Amino acid sequence: MSKLWGGRFTQTAEQWVDEFGASISFDQQLVKEDITGSIAHVTMLSKCGILAEEEAETIKKGLETLLAKAENNELDFKVEYEDIHLNIEKMLTDEVGAVGGKLHTARSRNDQVATDIHLYMKKEVTSIIEQLNRLQSVLVQLAEKHVETIFPGYTHLQRAQPISFGHHLLAYFWMFERDKERLSESLKRINVSPLGAGALSGTTFPIDRELTAKLLDFGAVYKNSLDAVSDRDFLIEFCSNASMIMMHLSRFCEELILWSSQEFQFVEISDKYATGSSMMPQKKNPDMAELIRGKTGRVYGSLMTLLTVMKGLPLAYNKDMQEDKEPVFDSVKTLKGSLAIFTGMMEEITVNKDKMEKAVSQDFSNATELADYLVNKGIPFREAHEIVGKLVLRCIENHIYLLDLPMNIYKEASSCFEEDVYDFLHPYKVVERRNSLGGTGFSAVQAAIEEAKKRI
Distance separating alpha carbons of residues 367 and 364, to the nearest angstrom:
5
Residue 227: enclosing H or E segment and its boundaries? helix 225-230
pLDDT of 292 over the 90 cut: yes
pLDDT single digits (tens) 169-203: 999 999 999 999 999 999 999 999 999 999 999 99
- What share of the chain has pLDDT > 70, as a percent? 96
Q: Pick the more confident residue, 13 or 37.
A: 37
Residue 14: enclosing H or E segment and its boundaries? none
pLDDT confidence tier of residue 21, bands split at 50, 70 and 90: low
Distance separating alpha carbons of residues 290 and 253, to the nearest angstrom:
7
In a domain, 383, yes or no: yes
pLDDT single digits (tens) 388-447: 999 999 999 999 999 999 999 999 999 999 999 999 999 999 999 999 999 999 999 999
Residue 6's pLDDT is what?
A: 64
Contact 153, 161 (CB under 8 A): yes
| Residue where a domain stops, chosen among 52, 76, 105 | 105
In a domain, 7, yes or no: no
From the list 2, 156, 278, 436, the catalytic residue is 156
CATH code at 79?
Answer: 1.10.275.10
Distance separating alpha carbons of residues 248 and 19, to the nearest angstrom:
38
In a domain, 447, yes or no: yes
pLDDT of 5 over the 60 cut: no
Q: Can you tell me the mean pLDDT for 161-165?
A: 96
| Type of residue found at 4 | L
Q: Can you tell me the mean pLDDT for 29-49?
A: 97
Distance separating alpha carbons of residues 285 and 287, to the nearest angstrom:
5
Residue 20's pLDDT is what?
A: 67
pLDDT confidence tier of residue 264, bands split at 50, 70 and 90: very high
51 lies in the same domain as 192 = no
31 lies in the same domain as 83 = yes
In a domain, 1, yes or no: no
In a domain, 276, yes or no: yes
Residue 24's pLDDT is what?
A: 85
Contact 298, 272 (CB under 8 A): no
Instruction: Find, among 418, 400, 398, 397, the residue nearest to 408 by Cα.
Output: 418
CA dihedral 298, 302, 307, 312 (to 10 degrees): 110
Distance separating alpha carbons of residues 428 and 293, to the nearest angstrom:
33
> 412-431: buried (b, 16+ CB within 10 Å) or exposed (e) per residue?
ebbebbeeebbebbbbeebb
Q: Can you tell me the mean pLDDT for 108-125?
A: 97
98 lies in the same domain as 119 = no
- Vertex 63: Cα angle to 21 and 231 (nearest 5): 45
296 lies in the same domain as 344 = yes
344 lies in the same domain as 366 = no
308 lies in the same domain as 389 = no
Contact 328, 238 (CB under 8 A): yes
| Type of residue found at 354 | D
- Vertex 131: Cα angle to 130 and 133 (nearest 5): 65
From the list 25, 201, 277, 443, the catalytic residue is 277
Beta pairing class for 192-193 and 220-221: parallel
Alpha-carbon distances of 171 from 74, 85, 252, 355, rounded to whole Å: 46, 45, 10, 21
Distance separating alpha carbons of residues 240 and 327, to the nearest angstrom:
12
pLDDT of 2 over the 60 cut: no
pLDDT of 317 over the 60 cut: yes
Angle between helices 442-455 and 165-190 (to 10 degrees): 20
| Averaged confidence pLDDT in the chain | 94
CATH code at 446?
Answer: 1.10.40.30
Its pTM stands at 0.92
46 lies in the same domain as 23 = yes
pLDDT of 3 over the 70 cut: no
114 lies in the same domain as 101 = no
Residue 14's pLDDT is what?
A: 63
Of the chain, the end-to-end C-alpha distance in Å amounts to 55
149 lies in the same domain as 77 = no
pLDDT of 7 over the 70 cut: no
- Which residues are CB-contacts of 80 (< 8 A; sequence separation ≥ 6)? 1, 18
| Residue where a domain stops, chosen among 296, 326, 352 | 352
209 lies in the same domain as 229 = yes
Distance separating alpha carbons of residues 115 and 231, to the nearest angstrom:
11
**Number of domain units in the chain:** 3
Distance separating alpha carbons of residues 191 and 359, to the nearest angstrom:
50
Distance of CA 197 to the CA centre of its chain: 31
Instruction: Find, among 29, 132, 126, the residue nearest to 339 by Cα.
Output: 132
pLDDT confidence tier of residue 18, bands split at 50, 70 and 90: low
Q: Catalytic: 248?
A: no
Task: Using CB atoms within 10 Å of the CB of residue 409, give its burial: 0 to 12 exposed, 13 to 18 middle, 19+ buried.
Answer: middle
pLDDT single digits (tens) 46-68: 999 999 999 999 999 999 999 99
pLDDT of 282 over the 60 cut: yes
Distance separating alpha carbons of residues 44 and 50, to the nearest angstrom:
8
Residue 261's pLDDT is what?
A: 96
C-alpha Rg value of the chain to the nearest Å:
31
Contact 108, 116 (CB under 8 A): no
144 lies in the same domain as 288 = yes
In a domain, 8, yes or no: no
Q: Catalytic: 146?
A: no
Beta pairing class for 267-268 and 220-221: unpaired
pLDDT confidence tier of residue 26, bands split at 50, 70 and 90: confident
pLDDT of 25 over the 90 cut: no
pLDDT confidence tier of residue 374, bands split at 50, 70 and 90: very high
The per-residue DSSP string of 335-359 comes to HHHHHHHHHHHHHT-EE-HHHHHHH
117 lies in the same domain as 137 = yes
Helix (H, G, I), strand (E, B) or coil at 155: strand
| Segments forming the whole domain that contains residue 54 | 13-105
Instruction: Find, among 113, 96, 117, 88, the residue nearest to 51 by Cα.
Output: 96
CATH code at 345?
Answer: 1.20.200.10
User: Which range among 9-13, 106-110, 270-274 shows the weakest confidence by mean pLDDT?
Assistant: 9-13
In a domain, 204, yes or no: yes
pLDDT confidence tier of residue 160, bands split at 50, 70 and 90: very high
> 358-394: buried (b, 16+ CB within 10 Å) or exposed (e) per residue?
ebbbebbbbbbbbbbbbbeeebeeeebbebbeebbee
Helix (H, G, I), strand (E, B) or coil at 11: coil
Contact 34, 112 (CB under 8 A): yes
| Residue where a domain stops, chosen among 352, 383, 418 | 352
In a domain, 288, yes or no: yes
